[in-house]
């Protein structure tokens, strides 16, 4: 069973989420994976601090307890994978704040304190989203400014850093542990972003190509149908109509001969002659509807008027037609498309709209030609534009082929309005001026 897909579903299918509504968003999946790798790398990068604390038996010191607490937070973020990624990111943020406190207490605001607070929101922006990253960044800036102000006011003691043997190792480990994980995370995110953009570009290009192929195939089908209609119309006009006309002439001759002999069968033959005349008119009208020929703008009003008259004869609906102005459109192909738009819109209004009144307007002005079909029927369903039946797609295809635009929507006062507008081309202006 075939189902009609909406435009949004097509894009969902391209992204791989339409077939499984519960599938994880690709960005969320990447963030979960990145949180796993980033938290594990932070644990490894900060392990030298822990080893230094244990080796120098500083576990029970103030700085030792803080280092172990911060490392435990990073270890929890790396191991507790059942937690939501945002919760694990907040564990890493808490660890950063603890490390920043250690640096502030150990070396004051001129140690790695500011670097840790200013740089850490970058990881939060990537792993937890823009909003959380901005919140953490704002908090860190407030903490940094507060520490600087407190130091200047004397509320926070500026501790002179006592360089000891091996101090460069502590400094190097601090810088690498703070910067390297974020650099790697940023590089990974940049690679993921560029890959996703390229993938989306390829997907979009494929969808555009498929849409173009589908439109081309639909156009070829419609053009083939148009050619077949012209062929059948020509055969009806040149074959069936001519045969019926010949039969009508012979019937009239026979009728006159019988009337001359006062034969009572002449009256019966009269009804046959009348029926043949009506049949010829019907077949001739059908041939004109199927194959209107190479219409010009001057013929369009007459063709639409004939269409309205013949439709009104068989449809239980009042149809009015107004032609406003002379036609500037001289391209017969464009004119044929406009006639077909009127024909299809009128047929849809008669068959589906349950209308009692249909109004057709053919207007010409210096800007171009506009044909409009209004009905007072039930109107369009809410999802008509999304469903896009064959009739609507055909109207749109014809409007595009004519170089114009198609508008389908509610009519003021109720019902449906179908309007096709074709701009006046420079070639049309020159041709009309010559006429």
pLDDT tens column, 61-114: 887 888 888 889 989 999 998 888 899 999 989 988 888 888 787 777 766 677
180 falls within a domain? no
Same domain? 352 vs 408? yes
Last residue of a domain, one of 266, 287, 308: 287
The pLDDT tens digits for 23-71 are 567 888 888 888 888 888 888 887 887 887 777 777 778 878 888 888 8
Same domain? 54 vs 133? yes
Same domain? 37 vs 74? yes
> What percent of the chain has a predicted confidence (pLDDT) above 90?
7
234 falls within a domain? yes
192 falls within a domain? no
Residue 295's pLDDT band (boundaries 50, 70, 90)? Answer: low
Instruction: Identify the CATH number of the domain in which residue 396 sits.
Output: 3.30.565.10
Same domain? 334 vs 394? yes
Same domain? 22 vs 158? yes
Full domain range(s) for residue 158: 7-162
The most confident of the ranges 23-27, 224-228, 321-325 is: 321-325
Same domain? 277 vs 367? no
Predicted pLDDT at 7: 37
29 falls within a domain? yes
65 falls within a domain? yes
Same domain? 358 vs 389? yes
Same domain? 264 vs 278? yes
Within 8 A by CB and 6+ apart from 101, the residues are 66
Same domain? 282 vs 298? no
186 falls within a domain? no
When mean pLDDT is compared across 33-47, 87-101, 217-231, 359-373, the lowest value belongs to 217-231
218 falls within a domain? no
Q: What is the mean pLDDT of residues 120-144?
A: 87
Q: How many domains does the chain have?
A: 3
Same domain? 236 vs 375? no
184 falls within a domain? no
Same domain? 126 vs 243? no
Last residue of a domain, one of 246, 263, 287: 287
pTM above 0.75, yes or no: no
Predicted pLDDT at 307: 84
Q: What is the mean pLDDT of residues 406-411?
A: 89
Same domain? 280 vs 307? no
Is the pLDDT reported for residue 374 higher than 80? yes
């Amino acid at each position: 069973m075939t189902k009609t897909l909406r435009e949004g579903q097509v894009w969902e299918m391209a992204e791989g989420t339409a077939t499984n509504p519960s599938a994880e968003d690709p960005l969320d999946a990447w963030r979960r994976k990145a949180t796993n790798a980033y938290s594990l790398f932070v644990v490894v990068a900060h392990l030298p601090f822990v080893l230094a604390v244990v080796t120098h038996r500083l576990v029970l010191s103030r700085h030792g307890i803080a280092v172990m607490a911060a490392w435990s937070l990073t270890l929890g973020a790396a191991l507790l994978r059942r937690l939501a990624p945002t919760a694990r990111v907040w564990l890493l943020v808490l660890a950063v704040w603890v490390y920043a406190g250690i640096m502030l207490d150990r070396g004051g605001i001129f140690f790695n304190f500011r670097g840790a607070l200013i740089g850490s929101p970058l990881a939060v922006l990537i792993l937890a989203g823009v909003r959380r990253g901005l919140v953490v960044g704002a908090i860190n800036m407030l903490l940094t400014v507060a520490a600087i102000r407190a130091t200047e006011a004397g509320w926070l003691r500026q501790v002179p850093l006592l360089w000891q043997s091996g101090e460069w190792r502590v400094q190097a480990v601090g810088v690498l542990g703070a910067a390297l994980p974020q650099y790697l995370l940023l590089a990974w995110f940049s690679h993921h972003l560029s890959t996703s953009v390229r993938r989306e570009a390829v997907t979009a290009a494929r969808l555009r190509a498929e849409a173009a192929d589908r439109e081309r195939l639909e156009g070829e089908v419609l053009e083939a149908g148009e050619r077949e209609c012209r062929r059948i119309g020509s055969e009806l006009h040149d074959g069936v109509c001519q045969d019926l006309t010949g039969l009508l002439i012979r019937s009239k001759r026979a009728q006159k001969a019988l009337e001359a002999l006062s034969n009572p069968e002449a009256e019966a033959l009269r009804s046959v002659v009348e029926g043949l005349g009506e049949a010829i008119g019907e077949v001739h009208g059908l041939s004109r509807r199927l194959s209107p020929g190479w219409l010009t703008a001057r013929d369009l009003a007459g063709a639409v008027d004939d269409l309205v008259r013949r439709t009104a004869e068989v449809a239980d609906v009042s149809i009015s037609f107004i032609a406003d102005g002379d036609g500037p459109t001289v391209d017969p192909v464009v004119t044929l498309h406009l006639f077909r738009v009127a024909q299809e819109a009128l047929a849809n209004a008669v068959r589906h709209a349950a209308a009692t009144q249909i109004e057709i307007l053919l207007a010409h002005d210096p800007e171009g030609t506009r044909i409009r079909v209004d009905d007072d029927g039930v109107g369009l369903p809410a999802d008509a534009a999304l469903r896009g039946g064959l009739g609507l797609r055909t109207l749109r295809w014809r409007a595009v082929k004519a170089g114009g635009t198609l508008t389908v929507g509610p009519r003021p006062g109720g019902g449906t309005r179908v309007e096709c507008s074709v701009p006046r081309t420079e070639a049309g202006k020159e041709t009309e001026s010559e006429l």
